[in-house]
Amino acid sequence: MKYILIILFILTLPGNSYSQRDEGIMARIGEKTITVNEFRLRYELSPFVSLKNSWNEDSVKYDFFYSLIAEKLWAMQARETGMEQNSNFTFYFKPLKEIIIRDALFKEEVENKIRLSPDDINNGIMKIQTTLNVLLISSKDSSLMSDFYDKITVPENIDSLLTRYNGLTQQVIEIKLGKLKDEEIEDLLYSMSTGAFTEPIKSEIGWVIFQVKDRVSSPIDLSDEKIINELKRTIRSRRVEKRHGEYLKTLLTGIKISADEKIFHNAANQIAKILSLKAPLRIGNDSTKLFVLDEADYRRIRSNIGQNFLSKPLFTIFQKDIPLEDFLATLAFKEFAVSSTDTSVVYVKLNQSLKIFMEEQLITHEAYRKKLNNDPAVRAELEMWSDNYLSQMLKVSYLDSITVSDDEVYDYYFSKVAKDSNFVLLDLQLISLNNLDEISGILDQIKEGKDFGSIIKNYGKTDPLVNENGETGLKPLILLGDIGAVAGKLELNQLYGPIRRNDSYSLFKVIEKKQSDDSLTISFESDKQMLRNQLRLQKLNDLLNEKTSEFASGKTFSVNENVLRNTKTLQIKMFVHRLMGFGGRIAAVPVTDNWADWIDTYQLKKKLLP
């Protein structure tokens, strides 16, 4: 089966994902620049596919380059019109800004505090070459465990003692480097001789006693850099986790915060009310369903609550008021969802979210106190993200202005469609989901050999274009809108995506493709809405072309395509989630809209380089 797929990963990226290190300037747009570093990061870590140049890597890079230029142009225009001060921009951007600043604090106070010594590496090499077979004895009853321990006289009598203690659980486990959460216990076990046992130790599962039963040696190639680096990563990750807990304990201990109950309950009631009107979304290919608030829901919630109430302080930390709106913004950023619309369930989930939000605000306050928002790498990253957000918001504002009248649809039908009998007919299997993790899961199943059609049947109707089996049925390409623009260029049984469409990501496969005969007609009445969508898409193309050229007027440009051509990039495109310090995750880089599919890049190039 032929396919074009974007591989999705979840990685922990060290430090800030965007650096100011200048590896060459590809373009200057006014005071803005596109560096080789930004281009490479965003190109390799974004689910970007080109509809025009799917098969040519150099052409896809070209499209991506001019898409970045268009993004910068639209962001500059958005700032000039004051959109950066718009309440909607602030609502969606502030949580992202704060998580990036908290991540900078994590790097400074946690990651950068970890230093591995030669002894750490040598100890790790010893452990990685030795596997311990350990008897684990556990019980939640401390007195029972203590009594059992007191009766152990020699290692050999543990087995016979266990037959007399029915309340104890026992199992043999393998201990390798990094297997245990507690490095001190791991060190202790590796220092013990075969047959030796520990005193009772308090753990997450109760009280435990370990006995080393056997040691198995597995020598490694010490010249293998990959093995040594993985060893260092394992040791460092555990040290980071320990330091993380210690730092938070120091930062948060003794601080008490109380939320305004009236304000919280007002918001909770509005959220519960909106959720009660929602249909559940099926998550995965099982029966799990969630009720998820979307962007339209938050608009209604904010409108119902009113700006005056949204501005009221939900709680205060160090003389700084944290308004209710900031809490709602964080809920939107994290995609608040519940398994039931029962009011008590919603309240419990909101209480949990509020507790986490309070802790995050304390961490954010500390990051601002250290002025990490002024760190050059943080500022560069925030500018990159704000460019992306602003360009999208401005585009959406123009999309909302595109209207298609009944007369225009009627004229389009009779002047273009009704006279054409030479239609391309397509039948697609299509799934559209909001969550990229779910898309990633589907791609994993496909790699395991599962049939795409069978997988998406479990999701039902996820897109207006499909039926309950996830199929469009045989339709003229012209009635498939933006999906048709892509699918018409694909081969039979070719799987494509994911591509971003509005607030979702779509995967689709062409399962039938043929040319129509003269007997085919498109009904004006039954297909009126699809015709309207197609005409709206054409208007969108014209608008984006016109506005991009307009925004470029009067600006100074310097575009270096030689740098673009000489920039080496990975051939496998990835979508990477970046795990953030102190919790949460974001896309490693902003997901770039494919402006090149909607604008005439060659005309734009002429305008930039007359």
**Interatomic CA distance for residues 282 and 290, integer angstroms:** 7
Structure confidence at residue 202 (pLDDT): 92
Q: What integer is the mean pLDDT of 524-551? A: 79
Q: Which of 51-60, 403-412, 546-555 has the lowest mean pLDDT?
A: 51-60
Q: What digits encode the pLDDT tens for the residues 366-401?
A: 999 999 999 999 999 999 999 999 999 998 888 778
Rounded Cα–Cα distance for residues 107 and 552 (Å) = 38
Write the CATH number for 134: 3.10.50.40
What is the C-alpha separation between 126 and 218, in angstroms, rounded?
A: 10
Residue 53 has pLDDT above 70, yes or no: no
Instruction: Classify residue 490: in a domain, yes or no.
Output: yes
Using 50, 70 and 90 to split pLDDT, how confident is the model at 5? very low
Closest by Cα among 335, 262, 266, 352 to 294: 335
Task: Report the relative pairing of strands 3-5 and 495-501 from DSSP bridges.
Answer: parallel
Specify if 447 maps to a domain. Answer: yes
Residue 464: give the domain boundaries.
Answer: 419-521
Question: Is 41 among the domain residues?
Answer: no
pLDDT of residue 404: 84
Last residue of a domain, one of 218, 239, 269: 218
Mean pLDDT (the chain, rounded): 85
Does residue 11 carry a pLDDT above 90? no
Residue 115 phi, psi dihedral angles, 5° rounding: -130, 130
Return the higher-pLDDT residue of 605 and 303.
303
Residue 527 resides in a domain: no
Number of Cβ within a 10 Å radius of residue 363:
23
Q: Please state, in angstroms and as integers, the Cα–Cα distance from residue 285 to each residue in 68, 99, 289, 307, 438, following that order.
A: 36, 31, 10, 40, 9
- 513 occurs within a structural domain: yes
Beta-bridge partners for 205: none
Give the mean model confidence (pLDDT) for residues 468-475.
87
Averaged pLDDT, 440-452: 83
Q: Is the pLDDT of residue 605 over 50?
A: yes
How far is the CA of 139 from the CAs of 187, 197, 201, 267, 306, in angstroms? 23, 16, 11, 44, 54
Query: What Cα–Cα distance (Å) separates residue 86 from each residue in 264, 304, 399, 590?
Result: 25, 19, 18, 20
23 or 222: which carries more pLDDT confidence?
222
pLDDT at 37 over 80: yes
Please give the pLDDT value at position 525. 58
342 falls within a domain:
no
Mean pLDDT across 264-279? 94
Domains contained in the chain, number: 2
Reported as a single tens digit per residue, the pLDDT across 476-506 is 777 787 788 778 878 888 888 777 776 678 8
pLDDT at 2 over 80: no
Determine, yes or no, domain membership for 273: no
Q: Is the per-residue pLDDT at 417 higher than 80?
A: no
Q: Cβ neighbours of residue 154 under 8 Å, at least 6 residues apart?
A: none
Which tokens belong to 168? 């104890």
Share of the chain above pLDDT 90, in %: 47
The residues near 206 (Cβ < 8 Å, ≥ 6 apart) are 138, 139, 140, 141, 145
Q: Which pLDDT band, with edges at 50, 70 and 90, does 10 fall under?
A: very low
Domain boundary residue among 218, 239, 267?
218
Cα–Cα distance, 388 to 573 (Å, whole number) = 19
**Cα–Cα distances in Å, from 129 out to 72, 216, 221, 235?**
52, 8, 10, 15
Note the pLDDT of residue 3. 40
- Residue 457: the pLDDT is 87
Mark which of 470, 489, 521 sits at the end of a domain. 521
The percent of residues above 70 in pLDDT, for the chain, comes to 87
Flag the least confident range among 198-202, 422-426, 582-586: 422-426
Task: Please give the pLDDT value at position 518.
Answer: 52
More reliable by pLDDT, 274 or 159: 274
Between 480 and 225, the more confident residue is 225
Q: Does the pLDDT of residue 571 top 70, yes or no?
A: no
pLDDT at 450 over 50: yes
pLDDT at 9 exceeding the cut of 70: no
Check: CB of residue 147 under 8 Å from CB of residue 164: no
Phi, psi of 201 (to 5 degrees): -125, 135
- Assigned token pair, 412: 């389009």
441, 432 Cβ separation under 8 angstroms? no
